[in-house]
Amino acid sequence: MNVLTSITVLGFLIFFHEMGHFLAAILQGIYVDGFSIGFGPSIIQKKYKDITYSLRAFPLGGFVSFPDEEINNIDPKDPNLLKNRPIHQRVIVISAGVLANLILAYTILILNVTTIGIPFDPEPGILVLATQPEKAAALAGLEAGDIILKIETNTLEVGDQAVSTLVKKIQNSSEKPISIEILRNGFFKELTLTPKKVDGKGTIGAQLQPNIRKETKKTKNIFELFKYTNNQFSSLLIKTIQGYKGLITNFSSTAQQLSGPVKIVEIGAQLSEQGGTGILLFAALISINLAVLNSLPLPLLDGGQLVFTLIEGLRGEPVPVKVQMAVTQSSFFLLVGLSVLLIIRDTSQLLIVQRLLNQ
């Protein structure tokens, strides 16, 4: 059921993306002859007002099609053909899918914040989530649930800054004792950590995070609601962009973290186990990813079509068909090849995990 929920969410996000293109064309009076969710053979197909709506066998994709004047017996100079519209109108149609996904993601985040609230502000110190046996933290007596308040005589700040300060101190203090003050069950206690040297840096074998309460609170007013949503949305968008940027600047490392359709469905299934909140978070994350992915300047994607259109605007004439075909074909094999590799890798990993669980 969780897998089905994940696939349903993916299908809805793709539908919303294609609906952006569709409405941008229809509302400008541009001819459209097809609206499809998925690829491959049609499972359900219905023609209404010269537009064929279809649901296809493979739901992880979709497209809006525009009529070919030769096949549809349309005057090649008809102003309602997409290719005959001004550049700015075509840009709107091409960009509408990406904008639709970004708007949807933002709306979902607002709904999520309205439903579950926002976290309390971080409190002073660092929360210890877990410690590894026989590592420096455990040997010093540090336990899960402890709150680290001081390093030496310096009081820690709050939030990520506090964690950063402690981590930097630990990394620079391999094999050197560090005195810390903790709060445990309402009592203060002093401990001495001696970070072990690993790969040239000190480590203590503990999982740390800012000292934030698990509970959430309702937003005070609409300004706080939008402020928190804006921060959350921009953070997710920036991290997603940085992830795709890493494919160019640091491919070998980033490719290991890249997920294919199988892994995405698995992640969605796991998040859906958390209920409505998990499903909303999954939907927002994937919607932002779809927006950024489709913005990439590859001919099969919206970003590539946008590049061709902008070049046409600068040149005053379309990019030669031969050039478009050559670039599109190379892009096709790149995307298909990457998708196949990711599907094989993710499926193999799932089978290995399943085999280990069954032993």
Which residues are known to be catalytic?
Answer: 18
Report the alpha-carbon distance of residue 222 to residue 306 in Å, rounded.
36
Tokens coding 52:
């064929």
Our measurement of the distance from residue 16's CA atom to the centroid of its chain's CA atoms, rounded to an integer in Å, reads 16
Answer for the pair 103, 284: CB distance below 8 angstroms, yes or no: no
Query: Of the candidates 21, 30, 38, 17, which has an alpha carbon nearest to the alpha carbon of residue 261?
Result: 38
Strand 118-119 relative to strand 216-217, pairing: antiparallel
Answer for the pair 192, 213: CB distance below 8 angstroms, yes or no: no
Nearest 5°: phi and psi at 84?
-95, -5
Nearest 5°: phi and psi at 103?
-65, -40
Report the alpha-carbon distance of residue 127 to residue 147 in Å, rounded.
5
Residues forming a β-bridge with 34:
52, 65
Answer for the pair 300, 330: CB distance below 8 angstroms, yes or no: no
**Per-residue CA distances from 308 to 14, 32, 264, 311 (Å):** 23, 20, 30, 5
183: left (phi over 0), alpha (psi -120 to 50) or beta: beta
Query: Of the candidates 230, 294, 268, 232, which has an alpha carbon nearest to the alpha carbon of residue 101?
Result: 294
First to last CA, the chain: 24
Answer for the pair 173, 140: CB distance below 8 angstroms, yes or no: no
